[in-house]
Amino acid sequence: MTQPPKQDKASFTISQLAEQLDISAPTIRFYEQKGLISPARTPGNQRVYSPKDRARLRLILRGKRFGFSLDEIAEMIGMADMDMDEREQIEKSMAYGAQKLEEIRIRKEELLLLEKEMMAMRKRLQNKLDQLQGGK
């Protein structure tokens, strides 16, 4: 029987991360394939994830939950990895955030308009149904 790879306390196996983050191991491998995370490998080629990898996965999952595409998430991760001074990185992050907030505001307005239209249609249909039932 082979022994599992020796792990330092600040590293995780794919199954540990999958359990901690409530996602599947294939999902984690998919994000690796897309270049969003790059775990280290043991001499036996087994993946070993760092706290940084776990933090990135949390960022990816949060981004997906908020409706960002993988390309947008990759761009955000890329900004965090860019070699720039802290002020420049903060300014770029703020500009990116402002752009995303505007997109969210527009999407929200569109959803509110759709909700109003659907409520009006529902009311018209209910009135029509009431007329048909009253004519029996």
Whether residue 24 is contained in a domain is answered as: yes
Q: Is residue 12 part of a domain?
A: yes
Domain-embedded: residue 39: yes
> ∠11-12-15 over CA atoms, to 5°?
175
CATH number at residue 50: 1.10.1660.10
Q: Quick one: pLDDT band at residue 96, thresholds 50, 70, 90?
A: confident
pTM value > 0.75: no
Q: Which residues contact 14 (CB under 8 A, 6 or more apart)?
A: 25, 28, 29, 39, 47, 49
Burial of 29 (0-12, 13-18, 19+ CB in 10 A): middle
Asked, for residue 22, whether it belongs to a domain, the answer is: yes
The reply to whether 33 falls in a domain is yes
**CA–CA separation, 81 and 70 (whole Å):** 16
Say if 49 falls within a structural domain: yes
Query: In total, how many domains does the chain have?
Result: 1
Instruction: Indicate the helix (H) or strand (E) that contains 118.
Output: helix 86-134
Instruction: Return the closest-CA partner of residue 18 out of 6, 8, 31.
Output: 31
For 4-41, write each residue's pLDDT tens digit.
445 556 899 999 999 999 999 999 999 999 999 999 99
Residue 57 structural domain: 8-68
